[in-house]
Structure 1
Amino acid sequence: MRIFRRLHYWWSLFVAGALLLFLGPPVLLVAWVTDRHELVYPWALFGARNWLRLSGMKVQVRGSENIDPNQTYVFISNHRSYLDTATLFAYTGQRLGVLAKKELLKVPILGYGMGYVNVMAIDRSNRERALQTTEAATARIRSGRSFGVFAEGTRALPGEFRPFKKGAFYMAAQAGVPIVPVAIKNTDYLMGKGTGEARFGTIEMVLLPPVSTAAVSSDEEVNQLLQRVHAMIGDELN
């Protein structure tokens, strides 16, 4: 019934807030006092996985055999739900930074803690600031940190797959690392944008074979790369 789906949605938001409230302050305080930012990541991973679990979501990952644990990647994914961010962050098998929307900076505790786990807020409404953020992310990728990006730029409506923005593709090409196309399925049914409802179920994340950026330099080549990755994810979603 719809009322139960709405209650489920609000329960999921309550769980997210409770995890932030009870885990965030002590972990961030210890990391700040000891100047050991690396202490935050395991707790962020714990929080993301348990938010999904306590919200009634299971995660099934396919394609892990395509990922070299010693290789740096840019993971580019579709985006239809709040659930996608936690799924991508926690289940690729890599210690992952994420490009996220700037509005998350306003969330108490979360906004402060994002920098501790390489979650970088991008302001797509301000071209100069967005460029600065992507340049900073590219530098971290060059240093060996994999990143996840939702290249549509915003959550799509249920069943929708929007065109990609180019920023993540320039990041990967400039850093000289492969792109892993990622198809996240079923999250629009479980907690779709604009529905205000949630359901119990299984999230399926498919890690497709990496795409090399070694020969990509011109704008035309970046656009071809974008179209190829978009088509790979679209085919998997369909």
Structure 2
Amino acid sequence: MAAESVKETSSIAPLLAPAPVEAPVEGAPPATLWTRLHFFWFVGVGLLSTLLIAPLQVITHRFRPTAANFKKWARRWAGMILRACGWRVVWEDRARLSPGQPCLFVANHQCALDILVLSHALPYPFGFVAKAELERVPVLGWAMRHSASLFIDRNNPRRSLESLRLAGERIRQGHPVLLFPEGTRGYRPELRPFKKGAFLLAVEAGVPLIPVVICDSYRCLDERRMVSRPGTIRVVIGEPVPTEGLRRRHLATLMDTVQARMQAMLREAGNHA
């Protein structure tokens, strides 16, 4: 995730974090009265759902501090918001992972809606690797601290390396995590250049990478412009990419391989939409 500054004080802040506004791409929601009203409906539903679900997740985490428990409540939280806003998610699982299989998910990041889509659609327990700013967000940051998620402070290299080390240990113990290798939201169908953090983590942990692509979320929400509309989002969970035997010198090739596969998956998903 990008190391952006979180200025909002509400628990929905990570869904609305500001980003540089570029000209919207073809297919993005237009700025109309309807899309504005839909966006503010989404904000209200998101606030209410977070206030309802986060305390339950934290309480149950005391008794079941597992990724599966976090996944259960995250899926309920996301499902409430998606249904209320008219967002339908369809997904295909090509990975067919065994329960508890160590792995690292990498997904493209088109807009803030992706957090909800992944929480709802991924059929495996996982934790997010999130930017440190989210830890200070009321309610949501509190819930994430009591979950399988980890925070990375990109402004503090020592703490960032320690977070990655902890993520590696957690993955090897059978608790997968998910990262966005683009490092920021793209607001477009094409992938942005990848950063190497996720791939270094997978190589150091010796676990396979699972590419995940989200198709058309950028058509449903653009939080920078405060517009959204109902729609269908496709998710494809790709086949594992092995990293066994790879070293740091192989990172560039691994990144190119995964990026090419994800771009192909995006084109295929778009053609079948």
Kindly report which structure 2 residues correspond to 1:132-143, keeping only aligned pairs within 5 A, or say none: 132-143=162-173
Cα RMSD after superposing both structures: 1.9
Counterpart position of 1:216: 246
Residue 186 of structure 1: which of 185, 195, 216 is its match? 216
Identify which range, 171-180 or 115-124, moves more after superposition.
Answer: 115-124
| Corresponding position: 1:197 with 2:216 | no
Q: How many residues align?
A: 234
| Corresponding position: 1:161 with 2:185 | no
Q: Deviations over 1:57-112 (max 9, x none)?
A: 111112x1422233222111110111111222332211011112222222211101
Structure 1 contact 178–210 (Cα < 8 Å) conserved: yes
CA distance in 2 between partners of 1:40 and 1:73 (Å)? 17
- TM-score (structure 1 length as normaliser): 0.90
Counterpart position of 2:151: 121
Q: How much does 1:160 deviate?
A: 4.4
Residue 68 of structure 1: which of 91, 97, 119 is its match? 97
Structure 1: stretches of 5+ with no match in the other structure: none
- TM-score (structure 2 length as normaliser): 0.79
Structure 2 contact 127–178 (Cα < 8 Å) conserved: yes
Residues 139 and 232 of structure 1, relative CA distance in 2, 3 Å threshold: same
Residues 220 and 53 of structure 1, relative CA distance in 2, 3 Å threshold: same
Structure 1 contact 186–203 (Cα < 8 Å) conserved: yes
Kindly report which structure 2 residues correspond to 1:1-238, keeping only aligned pairs within 5 A, or say none: 2-28=32-58, 30-31=59-60, 35-38=63-66, 41-62=71-92, 64-70=93-99, 71-217=101-247, 219-238=248-267
Residues 189 and 2 of structure 1, relative CA distance in 2, 3 Å threshold: same
Structure 1 contact 177–213 (Cα < 8 Å) conserved: yes
Q: How much does 1:204 deviate?
A: 0.6
Structure 1 contact 8–197 (Cα < 8 Å) conserved: yes
CA distance in 2 between partners of 1:221 and 1:128 (Å)? 24
CA distance in 2 between partners of 1:3 and 1:106 (Å)? 33
Q: How much does 1:27 deviate?
A: 4.4
CA distance in 2 between partners of 1:26 and 1:77 (Å)? 27
3-state secondary structure, aligned to 1:37: coil
Residues 27 and 175 of structure 1, relative CA distance in 2, 3 Å threshold: closer
